[in-house]
Amino acid sequence: MTGSDGSQHWAPGEHILWRYRGNGTEDVAICRPVTVVQDTPELLAVWMAPGTECVRPVLADGTPVHDEPLATRYTAPRTTERARWSGTGVLKLARPEDPWSVWLFWERGWRFRSWYVNLEEPRTRWSGGIDSEDHFLDISVYPDRSWLWRDEDEFAQAQRAGLMGPEQAARVLAAGREAVALITSWGAPFADGWEEWRPDPSWPVPTLPADWDRTPAHTAP
């Protein structure tokens, strides 16, 4: 369907790809097939089901990225591999212009665990999904409204490795502070009750297409 602003929107139940480019490149490093929950001019919500086959970065010898020492984590040669998402599913929420997305995690039995604010480039839409670039720094938010920074060491190392210059790092920090202000005021989406949401049990798990890394024709975010 087409929104009032002329942009294309996906219908609930459609399958799209949620992708991240490698930092400083146009190559896709992360690709996750997801099911659209809601797509309006104000919010894109998608569900990544347990067991979804995804693409993730690994070192050239197959070692998981986070097993590499921090000092060489962003300079060691990398490739990608296909792997199943382990654990429970993830609900992802993104407002078009926000330089972050908010992910919801549950324990088994649908006991809500936390929100996760993933700082990233505002997403770019294309016909098959959305693209972004991860900004290393993240925030965990808990049901009691407490919060804490995540991956500050990786954020610092990415700058030392030349993946992020001073001006971009300053913009990411400013975005993080803006997200913290939203958390402390308990604004959307934290106050919107998404932790009570449940996926349609009839939804099939999306499949990872063979051309998951195709170059899209970019449109407006």
Residues 6+ away with beta carbon under 8 Å from 100? 94, 117, 118, 119, 120, 175, 179
| 124-164: pLDDT as tens digits | 999 999 999 999 999 999 999 999 999 999 999 999 999 99
Residue 4: predicted pLDDT: 33
Average model confidence (pLDDT) for the chain?
A: 93
Domain count, the chain: 1
Residue 130 sits in a domain whose CATH number is 2.40.380.10
What would the mean pLDDT of 36-52 be, rounded to a whole number? 98
Residue type present at position 20: Y
**pTM for the full model?**
0.93
Domain assignment present for 172: yes
Note whether residue 214 is domain-resident. no
What integer is the mean pLDDT of 104-116? 97
Amino acid identity, position 74? Y
The answer to the question of residue 205 being in a domain is no
**Is 84 within the bounds of a domain?**
yes
The answer to whether residue 220 sits within a structural domain is no
In a domain, 207, yes or no: no
> Residue 84's domain spans which residues?
15-191
Tell me whether residue 212 is in a domain: no
Query: What is the sign, positive or negative, of the torsion defined by CA atoms of 20, 218, 101, 112?
Result: negative
β-pair type (129-141, 147-150)? antiparallel
Determine, yes or no, domain membership for 51.
Answer: yes
